[in-house]
Chains A and B, each alone.
Chain A
């Protein structure tokens, strides 16, 4: 009996040691061969994609699948330049308010029905329909007749015209230098009207039909999602892959183990393994890094006490130890002292706030809250997201602010922050949809965005004015970026946010995966990916 106990104890001790890092799957990571057709790309996800309907999806996972199923009029190349998609050529009128697109003739939906300009009109009008509750609708409010259509005063959007089956034309209320970028967003993807009419707006999500490189072959909720090659895809020879298969219910840890065993083709690196993997030469050729145009921030609801006072918000900015947040993120990224990520075109230096808990206390005293106060921080309940939340909780505790953490699921979080008066303090991030400051400043901090993404309900007429002035200016007009910068400085002074980090992401690929490029603005386009074996 006693010997057994000793054995067990020794075994337990030996067991409680770290497991060595396993090697990645074997195989040559790169080569000279030309792209080869065939194979199934195997992915893993913890949850089902929230949406496959382009009018609804606004998160990375939904977009990655939507891009496989649908196309937009224009697209991005490897970088941030606009290139043709479903449209071959386009012209803009001298006053910038009218755009005319000539569409490709060789595009058909996956059902075989030919694609025409009427489908473009249908898709955009569907996007604007109030019953769809699309977050992308706001990008197209600049179309003439859009507001009437939304209000129900008109049966169509008169600013979208279809003079011929291969021509679609847009009339805008005012100059919109970003209109092409907006057309490149998955919101503007072309959907098949017949499928929408057959399944209805709600169920189109489970039966999506588009012009994309893949079609939905199977979706078993909670288990797997399979997209097969669309033989009718208009880009000859693409996609290389036979299919993309996503196994659902695969946690990041499981995905990592499966990846190491060669069962998954792409995986994110679990934070626990970060240091070891980045230092391991066996993994180096398989690393894919991604610098994103993203800012993670602590949002302060400017309409809820005590965050309705500037001094309090500034105190919050001074109290947070961002260096430690960066350490908790394993050094992946950079500290954020401004709204815009440094790689954003038009981003300029902003003073920001130092880490100074003493000064933070003084500020609280200024606001009459020297004894501190209590509040609730809403955060995504993923253990990785809760770590920075706890660090922040501790930072604020040191200046006398008691923070209760409320972990919620991501969809619940982004819905709750829209409700005025519901959430005082929240942890979120924003990733640029297109490479322009307005995508941060106007979308997140203009007072008219309070119903959509201005979740801090920040409203400063001076800032609004600067943003409105800058918006119609052409991108190469020096005033544009100058005005945005002025607005950003004002915002930082008012401190509705505590900008935290500009994170970078890393992933690893199976050696057989080739040409998987990470795009700064969008999930990777899978149609160019091929498997070497």
Chain B
């Protein structure tokens, strides 16, 4: 087990380094004048010179990269030049909102998808099968931002049921969260529903289960003990892959609903030409995804010891 953990952690670290390298290259190497890119167009020549010296932009790239890593390790993501605040601070401000939205959406979508997937897998008749496959295919084709707008139109403008975006503040699970979580969660729902339906359905049809039934094991136990456990393993993998997709979905959902999270922050930073903020936010998101994947993989290793040998 420890060998697996070590290997997985090592891999996560190297991937993390790779990610920082990509961001570093994009920010320092690609733009014509990185100092202007970092300090912003309003900086006067003295500030630019200071930035060049401070960041060592005249040093060899390797040295610069090393320094950049050192800064990141200390939590220094630079300063947003639009507000002057430290990027780490700005991210910390916005993180709770995104965390709330992402976890709620994932929880809702995953659970609903799980339930529907299991229930429909049990009734694997032709009509239901087609309905699920077709339904999830269509459901997954609906653009998140369009769905968000439609929900706003129906529930906020027409029915006056729910507030139009914005944020309840702090960790309140209130009505402001409902529509954004529904928008993002619906996508998750279709995703997991299809997968669980296919996988659990496949497991139920397997010889192992049929043998158990033949031996007289009652249906209830069958579903929730055997089928689910076997289907759980690939589902856990899926969760890991899903986190990255979730972050992308979060960006769109936050924009539609004016939700003050990291996704909307990144988009705003682009239009403020605020390179430190953009790169800091993206890097932070990547780290989150990496960490989540690591946790999922380690969990996977516990659930299915076979994978440790992989």
Q: Indicate whether A257 sits within 8 Å of B271 (C-beta atoms), given known contacts A202-B84, A221-B93, A222-B94.
A: no
A1 to B132, CA, bound (A): 13
Taking a contact as CB atoms closer than 8 A, the residue among B42, B90, B167 that contacts A249 in the complex is: B167
CB distance from B232 to the nearest CB of A (A): 32
Which of A202, A381, A415 lies at the interface centre, i.e. has the most chain B CB atoms within 10 A of its CB? A415
Flag if B153 contacts A409 (CB, 8 Å): no
| Complex Cα gap A224–B260 (Å) | 12
**B41 engages A419 (CB within 8 Å):** yes
In Å, the complex CA distance between A221 and B97 comes to 13
Q: Which residue of B lies closest to A417 (CB)?
A: B41
Asked if residues A15 and B153 are in contact (CB atoms below 8 Å), the reply is yes
CB under 8 Å from chain A, chain B span 273-288: 273-274
Pick the contact of B154 from A15, A258, A407, A412 — CB < 8 Å? A15
B169 surroundings in chain A (CB, below 8 A): 223-224
Q: Mark A235-264, 1 if CB is under 8 A from B, else 0.
A: 000000000000111110110011000000
B156 to A, closest residue via Cβ: A257
A-B interface pairs (CB < 8 A), number: 74
The answer to whether B41 touches A409 (Cβ under 8 A) is no
Distance (whole angstroms) from the CB of A402 to the closest CB of chain B:
22
Q: Does B272 contact A (CB under 8 A)?
A: yes
B163 shortest CB reach to chain A, Å? 8
Interface positions, chain B 38-88, Cβ under 8 Å from A, are 40-42, 82, 84
State how many angstroms separate the Cβ of B151 from the closest Cβ of chain A. Answer: 11
If over half of B's interface residues share one DSSP class (helix, strand or loop), that class is named, otherwise mixed; here it is loop
Residues on A with C-beta less than 8 A from B306 are none
The answer on a CB contact under 8 Å between B272 and A409 is yes
Contact B166 A412 (CB under 8 A): no
Size of interface on B: residues with Cβ below 8 Å to A: 29
Chain A's interface size range is 20 to 34
Within 8 A of A (CB), among B101-148: 127, 131
Contact between chains at B271 and A249 (CB < 8 Å)? no
Determine whether A418 belongs to the interface, using a CB cutoff of 8 Å to chain B: yes
Q: A412 near B41 (CB under 8 angstroms)?
A: yes
Instruction: For B206, list chain A residues within 8 Å (CB).
Output: none
The residues of B that contact A46 with a CB separation of less than 8 Å are: 258
Q: Mark A417-439, 1 if CB is under 8 A from B, else 0.
A: 01100100000000000000000
Would you call A415 and B42 a contact (CB within 8 A)? yes
Q: Which of A202, A223, A251, A416 has the most CB of B within 10 A?
A: A223
Contact with B along A52-89 (1 / 0, CB 8 A): 00000000000000000000000000000000000000
> Which residues of A, 89-135, contact B by the 8 Å Cβ criterion?
none
Question: Least Cβ distance of B134 to chain A in Å?
Answer: 10
Instruction: Answer whether A416 and B164 are a contact pair too, CB < 8 Å, given A19-B157, A250-B258.
Output: no
Whether, in the assembled complex, B158 has its beta carbon less than 8 Å from a beta carbon of chain A, the answer is: yes
B165 within 8 A of A: yes
Q: For residue B93, which residue of chain A has the nearest CB?
A: A221
B32 CB, nearest partner CB in chain A, Å: 12
Partner of A416, one of B41, B163, B258: B41
Give every chain A residue within 8 A of B41 (Cβ-Cβ).
Answer: 412, 415-416, 418-419, 422
Minimal beta-carbon separation of A383 from chain B (angstroms): 12
Establish whether residues A409 and B164, one from each chain, have CB atoms under 8 Å apart when the complex forms.
no
B237 within 8 A of partner (CB): no
A408 lies within 8 A of chain B by Cβ = yes
Specify which chain B residues have a CB less than 8 angstroms from the CB of A412 in the assembled complex. 40-41, 82, 271-274
Known A-B contacts A411-B82, A418-B42; A254 and B165 likewise in contact (beta carbons under 8 Å): yes
| Cα(A250)–Cα(B166), bound, Å | 6
Q: Is the CB of B260 within 8 A of A249?
A: yes
- B271: which of A1, A19, A251, A408 is its contact (CB, 8 Å)? A408
For A16, the closest partner residue in chain B by CB is B153
For B131, list chain A residues within 8 Å (CB). Answer: 1
B268 interfacial contact with A, CB 8 Å:
yes
Distance between Cα atoms of A224 and B273 in the complex (Å): 25
Q: Do B271 and A254 touch across chains, with their CB atoms under 8 A apart?
A: no
- Nearest opposing residue in chain B for A263, CB measure: B163
A251-B258 contact in complex given A411-B82, A416-B273, C-beta closer than 8 Å: yes
Task: Name the 5 nearest CB pairs between A and B, nearest first.
Answer: A415-B42, A409-B272, A409-B271, A222-B260, A416-B41
Known contacts A19-B153, A253-B164, then 7 further A-B pairs from the complex at CB < 8 Å, ordered by chain A residue: A15-B158, A223-B169, A250-B258, A254-B163, A257-B156, A258-B163, A415-B40
- B interface residues (Cβ-Cβ under 8 A, vs A): 40-42, 82, 84, 90, 93-94, 127, 131, 150, 153-154, 156-158, 163-167, 169, 258, 260, 268, 271-274
